[in-house]
Structure 1
């Protein structure tokens, strides 16, 4: 049996994926901005939270189920939006959504997917959200919203923290460009040939987007809107004031601003700011089921997973993604039981203490 079929952790999958991918593609998928301090800070923020188990609680039955904007999912783990899955594997986004659906989990599909949103939706058996950039062409932006609604996507996720792509040392060193066989399939007639990913994004994505555009987007359809990339309490409040149904606390996986605050450090202030006015999620450095439990205990409704999904895809296609998602759910369930949490609603702040014992 391969490591991809039976991993102890996502790091087992990462080691296998590293052998499957050319160096410049591995660097693009895994790199961060600048010296990658925020990339490391996201992980360190989880490590700074100790779990404090409760004992003699009946955990003979365990229930990981929750809802995300009304859609029931098998666990509070979701696939974050990531561009160009075909860089990792030829089966690309369709394999990812099949795997997420098979595990009963939510998947968010990127505007810059390497298959069309309709092709991806046709493969889905679980809930899908569509991640959206506000493009310079507002007509094209509206068309993407209409297409997503028609294809059965259940929410729109507006990426707010990438008016331009961050300064990424690894990609600058390699001069990374999309291979000829990978293109943004949702944007007809657009290819990445001859341009870096940053150059391509700068041509397509509108850097003048403001809060007014959140309200505009909210008015285009009846789909709920999640604002992704929020780190400030005031921005979380503005998101809700402009019609957002959810906020994803995210620093773009450390890929935008080197030295930006870690998401788990930003989460408490965001939660305090919005109260129960919207759902709040977190991503960035989620590598273990224990991280998911820490996020829940901190008040997040779900944790979104990014790079490890692409590791699974690179290692073994759909089966590799399923293996990655399963290891999160399995570790989460076992750790919940050991901590005296029979369901996700019982993971509260009393489960946490600052600092990790050596």
Structure 2
């Protein structure tokens, strides 16, 4: 083999290995903070990632504030629909359209072309639910009073309508809206509740896994949102965080992709101890001050004839721990 050909092969091999072990950053050089007008919302969120799904009611407003390292180079704001009013440099008020549906907001850096894309789901108001049904979809009923009077247990004000057309819409860099749907039977449209803080928590977990040399391309969502009706059919309690859109049952399924937890501790088995590896990493995150706003429930579950081991996470606002 000629030396030049050999060098090309070596360079290509090195490049492929480097790419395989490299985590492409999903962060931009600027962040976006959303300030909600509603006292019942937890939408005062800072978004460091380049994609996020947001849900709000028709005509609801919020303020977007951009923070960048170079204020002299302002980020541009684009809205497909709704009403926009600029309040100051890098600050806008945006009002949602008056009808449910999906629209997109973009914040674009004029030089680097980095873009933060907010996929906004204008919800169907909860007042449209009649006798536990919404447009033929079984919702059920929420508890009359929130648990411990906490906002994370308040009855949702609306529901995201998921259709065949929008089910693959990204709600964060690694997840789509369809991954969080309740597993109950029924065709489209379907409805769910999904909180932004849960999405941010999941993305922070993926970043941490990468930093600990677990090159995951996502997390498998075994169970995301559950309607109160479906949650009750599973024999779960009335205050499950799943019915409020703040919980997910997850596991790592990268190699091979077979719907089962990977062998994370490299002992040749795929079992409950692999769930412990994941739960220990998340527990360590919750001990960090920057992670305080994401504190919530954390538990691991053993395999059954119906599923493999998995980890439950939520962002209820206080620490809760249990095991199956």
- More strand per residue: 1 or 2? 2
Q: Which has the larger radius of gyration?
A: 2
- More helix per residue: 1 or 2? 1
